[in-house]
Structure 1
Amino acid sequence: MKKLFIAVSFFILVPAFAAVSFAETLEQAWEIGLKVDHLIKAAGEETNSKQAQLAAAKGERLPTINLGAGYLWLDNEPGAYFYDREFSTADKHSLSYQAMVSLPLYTHFQISSAIAAATADLKAGEFTETTAQQNVKLKIAEAYIAILLRKLQTDVALSHEQSLAAHTTDVQNLHDVGMVPVNDLLAAQVALANAKQMLLQSQNRLDIARSAYNRQLNRPLDYAVDISPIPIHYPTADLTYLSQTAVAKRPELMALAEQVKAMKLQAKSAKAVSGPKVMLKSGYDYHENSHQANESIWQAMVMASWDIFDGNIARNKGRALQSQARALAERQQELTTIIQLQVRQSWLDMQESRKRIKVTKETLNQAEENLKVTRDRYKEGVGTNTEVLDAETLRTISFVNYDKAGNDAVLAVIRLRYATGEL
C-alpha cells in the first residue's frame, strides 16, 4: 500500500533540555488508553452481543430436540362398546414420554437471510469498535499535545519573567545612581509583575492539561506526567488521494455500509416469514396402555406450510426495514461529504502550520538580537525603557508564535491521520 506519511528528521514541541529517556511516548499512551477507556469497553461488549446474535441466527437451521413426559390419572378407565359388550381401551393410570426431532428443510430464505443479516451487523459492530478506538486515540493525542504546548508556554513565560527581572535590576541600579527617572523603574516593575502573573497562569494551564491527560488514561488527576516529543510525519500523498483513502478506510462509513446491508437482509427475512416452509419431524412416542398392542411408536413426518394471507404483516415489516436501510444509506452519503471536508480542513491546516513554522523560526534569532541591542542602547543612555519593554514583548511573542505553529502542525497531522482512517 502506498505510504501516506513520511517522518521528518526533527522534533518540535519539546524544550531543548528535556530528558526523554524514560518519558512516556504517545504510542504508550495510546496502548494504556485503549485498555482502560470505558467507551471502548462498551463497544467491545456490543460486539460480543452481536456475536451472540449471529450464533443464535445460525442455530435456527440446526435440528431441535424436544423431550416430554407425563403421568395420567383418570377416575375411570376409558372404554367402548362393541355390539352388546363393553371393553376398556386404556388404563386408569398411565405413563407416557416422547422424544421429537425437528429440522427445517426449506424456509423460503428466512433463516439464511437472518444469518447473513447478523453477519453484516457483526461486521458493523466491529467497525464501530474501531471507530471508538480511533476517537479515543485522537482525544489522547490532543491531550498529549496540549501538555507539550503548555510546557513550552510555561518555559516562555518563565524566560519572559527572568528577562524582565534582569532588566528591572538594571533599571534599579541605573536609578540608584541617578541615570534614569523613577518612572522607568516603575514601568519595569509593573512589567515584571505582569510577567509573574503570566507565569502563574501558564503553570495553572499546564497543570490542568496534565490532569485532563491523566483522566483520559484513567489515572489519578495529580499523577506525575513526563512525556516525550512527537515527530512530525508529513503526508507525501496529494489531497485527492487522501480524500479517496478516507472514503475507503473510515470505519464509520464501513459500519454504515454493513448496517445498510444488514437492514436489507433483515427485510428479506421478515418477508419470508409468510412464505412456504418445509420441515422434517421424527421421534419416538411411548404411551403405557395394557390394552394396546404396541405401546411405543417411532414416527417420521415431512410437513409443509404456507401462510397465504397474514394481514400483510410480514410484507409491511419488510417494507419498514427497507425504509430504514434507505435512511441509513442517506446518512452514509452525508457522512461521506463530512469526512471529505475533515480531510481537506486538516490538510489545509497542516499546510498553513508548515508555512508558519518557517516564518516564525526566522524571527526567533532576530527577536533575541533586537532585545540585546535595545538593552545595550538603554544602558548606554541612547535608548528608552519603553523600547526595551517592547523588544522583550516582541521576543516573547515570537517564541509563542513559533511554539503554537509547531503545535498546530503536529495536531493537524494527527487529525489528518484520523480523518483518513490511518490513526
Structure 2
Amino acid sequence: MNIKHAIIKTLLFSFLAMVPTLTMAQDLDPVLKDLIHKGLEKNHQINANRLEGEQAKIDQQLAKSVFLPKVTFNGSFTRLNDDITFDDETQVLLKETQKLVIKEALGLPFNAPFPENIPLQDAPNLQDKNILKSSVDVDWVLFSGLEASNALKASKHKEASLNYVGMAEKDKLALQIIEAYDKLALVKASKQVLDNTENYLNEQAFYVNKAIENGLTTPISRKKIELAQQQLEAKKLEFEHNNILLIEVLHQLTGEARENLRMLQPQLASFVVASNANIEKRYEVKALEEAEKATLYKAKMEKSNFIPKVAMKGHYEFIEDDLSLLDPKWYVGVGVRWNIFDGNHARLKSKQTALEGQKYRDKIEEAEEMISLSIIKSELEYQSAQQNTLIVKKEIEIANETYELVNKQYKNNLTSITELLDALNDVEKANFKLQESYFNERRALANMLHAKGTLTY
C-alpha cells in the first residue's frame, strides 16, 4: 500500500468516526443521565429549596392545628402568709345570725337568751393559707374569622411555588452538566483529530526522510515537519489541560469520583427535534404564579383580622379541698372576640402584601416576555448551527480533496512541503470545526428545549 492510499484510508476512517448518530432530542446518554441525577442529589441549593418546601408543609399543619382543641394540665402549690377570713364585724354578724336560726329551730322567742350548751360554729375561711391546685383547661377555636383557612391556602401556594423553584434549579443544573459533558466530548473528539494529524505527519516524515536519502529534497523539509510535530505536541498539551479542567468541573457539579470521570468517553451526536415541538409553561413562571396566589391569600388573612373570632373555654378542678368559697369546681364558656379598630395595622399590612402580589404579576409578565424572546433566539441559533454543520462537512470534503491533490503534487516535485503542511492544517481545522459545530448545535437545541419548557432528563 503506498502513502497516498494510506492517507486516504486514514482520512476516511477519521471522518466516519466523527459522524454522529442521529438520535431523538430527549434520548440522552445513560451515563449523562446518571451524572445529572447525581448532581441533583448533591446540589446544595436544590437541597435547601427542598427543606424550605418541607417548612411550608409544616406551616400548613400549623394552620390546621388552630381548630384543634388545646388541652393544658395545671398544678401548683401556694402558701399565703395567713388564712383569708371574714373581718371581725362580719364574723360577729354571722354568729348572731346563726343564733337566730338555732332559736327559731328550737321554737324559742326572738328575745329569749341563747342556750349555753349549744356550740356555735366559726365562719369558714374564705381561703386557707395552704393552697394545692390541680386542674385541666381546654381552649378550642370554633371560628377564626377565615384567618386560619386563608393562612392554609397561602401556605399551600407557597409550597407549590418552592417546588417549582426547585424544578427550575434542577433544569439549570442539568444544563450545566450537559454542557460540561458535551465540552468533554468535544475535547475527546479534538484528541482524535490530533491523533489523526499525528499519523499524517509521521507518514510525511517517513516519506521526507526517504526523499532526503535519495537526494530528492533538502533537510529543510524535515525541519518543517519537525516544527509541525512540535506544534502538534503543544496542542496535545492544551488538550490535557482542558481535559483536567472539565473533569474537575463535572466532579464539582456531580460529586462523581475523578477516576470514574477520567474513564468517560462521551461522543457528540446531532439531535433531531420536530420543528413544531410543544411549548410548556416554564417552572420559573409557575413559581411566580404560585407566589402571587400565596400573597393574595396572605392579604386576605391579614384583612380578616376584623372578622369576629369565636372560641370555647373549659376548666375543671381536680382538688376541691383547697378551693376558696368563691372558686367554681368547673366551668364552660363560649366567647367572641371582635377587633373593631387596631390603629389601621391590619389594613396597612394587607395593602402592603397586595402590592407584593402586584410585583409578582409584573415579574410574571416580564418572565413571559423574556422566555418568548429566548425561544425565538434559540430556534434561530439551532437552525444556524444545523446549516453550519452542513457547510463544515462540505469544507471537510474540499479539504480532504485538496490535501490529496497537494500530496500528489508534492510527491511529483510540483509543490513545496509548506503547501503540503498548509493543506494538512486545513484538514485538521475542518475536522475541529465540525466537532465545534456539533457542540454548538447541541447547545442551541438544549437551550431551545429549556426555553420551551420541554427539557427532560
Normalising by structure 1, report the TM-score.
0.87
Corresponding residue for residue 192 of structure 2: 155
CA contact (8 A) 1:13 1:148 kept: no
1: distance between equivalents of 2:71 and 2:275? Answer: 60
Corresponding residue for residue 286 of structure 2: 254
1: distance between equivalents of 2:272 and 2:446? Answer: 10
Change (3 A) 1:258 1:422: same
Change (3 A) 1:128 1:175: same
Change (3 A) 1:237 1:279: farther
Identify which range, 227-236 or 380-389, moves more after superposition. 227-236
Change (3 A) 1:159 1:381: same
Aligned partner letter, 1:176: E
Query: Any idea what SS the aligned residue of 2:86 has?
Result: strand
1:315 aligns with 2:352: no
Corresponding residue for residue 79 of structure 1: 85
1:330 to 337, 348, 362: 362
2: distance between equivalents of 1:405 and 1:123? Answer: 40
1:391 aligns with 2:423: yes
2: distance between equivalents of 1:232 and 1:406? Answer: 6
CA contact (8 A) 2:38 2:254 kept: yes
2: distance between equivalents of 1:57 and 1:227? Answer: 53
Structure-to-structure mapping, 1:225-236, within 5 angstroms: 225-229=263-267, 232-236=270-274
Q: What is the CA deviation profile of residues 60-115 of structure 1, one whole-angstrom value per residue up to 9, with x for unaligned ones?
A: 22222222221221121111243624732122212222222222222221111101
Corresponding residue for residue 208 of structure 2: 171
Query: Any idea what SS the aligned residue of 1:79 has?
Result: coil
Change (3 A) 1:231 1:172: closer
Change (3 A) 1:13 1:227: farther
1: distance between equivalents of 2:42 and 2:184? Answer: 20
2: distance between equivalents of 1:290 and 1:398? Answer: 101
Name whichever structure is richer in strand by fraction. 1
2: distance between equivalents of 1:17 and 1:237? Answer: 20
Q: What is the CA deviation profile of residues 151-202 of structure 1, one whole-angstrom value per residue up to 9, with x for unaligned ones?
A: 0011112222332232233233323333224443333322222122112212
1: distance between equivalents of 2:86 and 2:324? Answer: 14
Structure-to-structure mapping, 1:341-360, within 5 angstroms: 341-360=373-392
Structure with higher Rg: it is 2
Query: Any idea what SS the aligned residue of 1:308 has?
Result: coil
Aligned partner letter, 2:402: N
Q: What is the CA deviation profile of residues 377-411 of structure 1, one whole-angstrom value per residue up to 9, with x for unaligned ones?
A: 10111122222112111111111111111111122
Structure 2 unaligned regions, length at least 5: 1-14, 22-28, 95-122
2: distance between equivalents of 1:236 and 1:325? Answer: 38
1:25 to 31, 34, 38: 31
Structure-to-structure mapping, 1:93-104, within 5 angstroms: 93-104=130-141
Corresponding residue for residue 122 of structure 1: 159
Change (3 A) 1:99 1:237: farther
1:63 aligns with 2:100: no
Query: Any idea what SS the aligned residue of 2:59 has?
Result: helix
2: distance between equivalents of 1:270 and 1:389? Answer: 79
2:302 to 262, 270, 277: 270
CA contact (8 A) 1:282 1:301 kept: yes
2: distance between equivalents of 1:85 and 1:125? Answer: 74
Deviation at 1:418, TM superposition (A): 1.9
2: distance between equivalents of 1:237 and 1:368? Answer: 33
| Overall identity of the aligned pairs, in % | 20
Corresponding residue for residue 408 of structure 2: 376
2: distance between equivalents of 1:170 and 1:291? Answer: 117
1:35 to 41, 57, 60: 41
CA contact (8 A) 1:123 1:255 kept: yes
CA contact (8 A) 1:264 1:321 kept: yes
2: distance between equivalents of 1:63 and 1:352? Answer: 67
2:170 to 108, 114, 133: 133
Change (3 A) 1:228 1:291: closer
Structure 1 unaligned regions, length at least 5: 1-11
CA contact (8 A) 2:185 2:268 kept: no
Q: What is the CA deviation profile of residues 290-337 of structure 1, one whole-angstrom value per residue up to 9, with x for unaligned ones?
A: 686797633221111112221111111111111211112212221222
Change (3 A) 1:219 1:28: closer
Corresponding residue for residue 304 of structure 1: 336
2: distance between equivalents of 1:93 and 1:85? Answer: 26
Identify which range, 290-299 or 382-391, moves more after superposition. 290-299
1: distance between equivalents of 2:317 and 2:359? Answer: 52
Corresponding residue for residue 4 of structure 1: none
Corresponding residue for residue 3 of structure 1: none
Change (3 A) 1:28 1:14: farther
Query: Any idea what SS the aligned residue of 1:84 has?
Result: helix
Q: What is the CA deviation profile of residues 8-29 of structure 1, one whole-angstrom value per residue up to 9, with x for unaligned ones?
A: xxxx9975799xxxx9622222
Identify which range, 138-147 or 295-304, moves more after superposition. 295-304
Query: Any idea what SS the aligned residue of 1:307 has?
Result: coil
Corresponding residue for residue 3 of structure 2: none
Change (3 A) 1:363 1:287: same
Normalising by structure 2, report the TM-score.
0.81
2: distance between equivalents of 1:13 and 1:314? Answer: 73
2: distance between equivalents of 1:60 and 1:255? Answer: 28
Corresponding residue for residue 120 of structure 2: none
Aligned partner letter, 2:285: L
1: distance between equivalents of 2:265 and 2:247? Answer: 10
CA contact (8 A) 1:13 1:152 kept: no
1: distance between equivalents of 2:265 and 2:158? Answer: 40
1:113 aligns with 2:156: no
